[in-house]
Structure 1
Amino acid sequence: MLLGLLVICGVSVFLFLDGESRDFSRKTGITVWDDLTEFQYAGGTYATVGDFLRGEGIVLAPGDSVFPSEESALASGSRIAITRSRSYTLRVDGETLSLETQARTVAEALAAAHVTLDEDDIVEPARETSLAENSRVAITRVVVSEESVDKPIPYAKKTNEDDALSWRKTVVTQKGENGIERSTYRVSRHDGKEVNRKLLARERVKEPVTEVVTQGTYVKVGKSHSGAASWYAHTGTLAAANPWLPMGSYVRVTNTGNGKSVIVKINDRGPFAPGRIIDLDKVAFEKIASLGSGVVHVKMEEITN
């Protein structure tokens, strides 16, 4: 960039250029626009524009342009325009580019680089900013969209008992279905990365359907036995050990002290202590008594259905 100050002293003309004083008294009528800076020269002793530039020490760097061309004849009253090239870096769409341009503003440089901008894109520095040498220009692609997210609403479960139905029977009389809750958001993304999510609406687009189950409660019993029941940690299921009943058979065990009962499956042998007729798995024992009770008196009924 050339910086100049024109001083006229009588018939002498001095131009302060890049910190140096130059005498142009012998020249008349030459105007030079170096980018946006105007210089007035007083005369012309040069045949061409190129001669003038070289004679006056005005250097054109690679990428600079001059109008008229350097080969053009120079006459009194000539106007010469020099457009300087600038280096700048452009970050866009995941790339960083090193570019040269004669554009004077950021917007002009982007247009020259054939960069297409949407109205929401962010340009730094602003588009109207003058483009200086070694400027850094960054474009952030902004995409704003509406997105819907569906969330299941768990269905409730309802159990009805039927004393005419075997205790082993469970019938689903109405199948449960999850409902759907839909949330709609306005989502902003910068260069593909989400930066903001705003809830616009939330609605139930489908109500859940309650699942209805009919559980049979009819228990047919055979022989009944009385004695003590203890507990032990075994399978963690509603199971028990008995010395004589068939493996895989079921019994109903009732605490005679509080009337609580549980149905268990025989899957082990024992207990073998006198007076004890069944050893309940820990989970089953807790249904009829506290574990701290240790041993309780029970009625054990063999189930035949």
Structure 2
Amino acid sequence: MEIVIDRIVDLEVMETKSVPFAVVRQNDANAYYGQEALIQSGRDGEREQKFLITYKNGVEIARKLLADRAVRAPQDEIRNFGTKIEIVERVEGRASWYAYRDCMCAAHPFYDKGRFVRVTATNSGKSVIVQINDRGPDQSIHPDRVIDLDAVVYRELAPLGSGTIAVKTELLR
């Protein structure tokens, strides 16, 4: 006959938990599209939780929440996002696509990287706003192409199988 002794211990434990802050994006009609301004920094909140933890031979087997109180509420981070559209230049031509980064981005032969361009499919009227992050298309090879769209963007305007589509591009301020 074997006798087994299990050690059972109940402990009250206080734990502090971080409560993440939310990021609130507000539209700002006075700021140009793509401009973002931090209005208020976010700060995590804090909670204290008291538990009754039961251990059997040093291994936790049960946990019961006894008390839960907010020590500090989180402070939201507030960011203004510009929505004002002012067109600097309009160009019509053809758009092609390439698989780059699955982003709302595009390649343009000479627009500065980081600039925003509204691209409208002339057949459907669908439009998207993209950020220039690459160079292309090579106009010495494809003089009719005015922009290379990431595949994600192109799919919003037309099926990838269409190859190229007629578009109007508008460079935003």
The TM-score, its normalising length taken from structure 2, stands at 0.74
Correspondence for 2:105 = 239
- Residue 116 of structure 2 is aligned to residue 261 of structure 1: no
Give 5+ residue unaligned stretches, structure 1: 1-134
Distance 1:283 1:165 in 2: 27
- Aligned in 2, Cα 1:297/1:151: closer, same or farther, shift over 3 Å? farther
Residue 199 of structure 1 deviates from its aligned partner by 2.4
Correspondence for 2:157 = 289
The TM-score, its normalising length taken from structure 1, stands at 0.46
Correspondence for 1:217 = 83
Question: Are the equivalent residues in 2 in contact too, given 1:185–1:198 (CA < 8 A)?
Answer: yes
Q: In percent, how many aligned pairs have the same letter?
A: 27
Question: Are the equivalent residues in 2 in contact too, given 1:225–1:299 (CA < 8 A)?
Answer: yes
Residue 228 of structure 1 deviates from its aligned partner by 2.2
RMSD: 3.1
Correspondence for 1:184 = 50
Q: Max radius of gyration: which structure?
A: 1
Question: Are the equivalent residues in 2 in contact too, given 1:255–1:261 (CA < 8 A)?
Answer: no
1:172-211 to 2 correspondences below 5 Å: 172-211=38-77
Question: Are the equivalent residues in 2 in contact too, given 1:245–1:266 (CA < 8 A)?
Answer: no
Q: CA offsets per residue over residues 159-191 of structure 1, 9 Å max, x none?
A: 112232233421121222333344321112244
Residue 212 of structure 1 deviates from its aligned partner by 1.5
- Aligned in 2, Cα 1:223/1:194: closer, same or farther, shift over 3 Å? closer
- Name the structure, 1 or 2, with higher relative contact order (CA <8 Å, separation 6+): 2
* Secondary structure of the structure 2 residue equivalent to 1:284: helix
Q: Which has the higher strand share?
A: 2
- Aligned in 2, Cα 1:161/1:293: closer, same or farther, shift over 3 Å? farther
Give 5+ residue unaligned stretches, structure 2: none
Question: Are the equivalent residues in 2 in contact too, given 1:264–1:284 (CA < 8 A)?
Answer: no
- Residue 145 of structure 2 is aligned to residue 280 of structure 1: no
Distance 1:232 1:292 in 2: 9
- Residue 137 of structure 2 is aligned to residue 270 of structure 1: yes
**Which amino acid in 2 is paired with 1:213?**
R
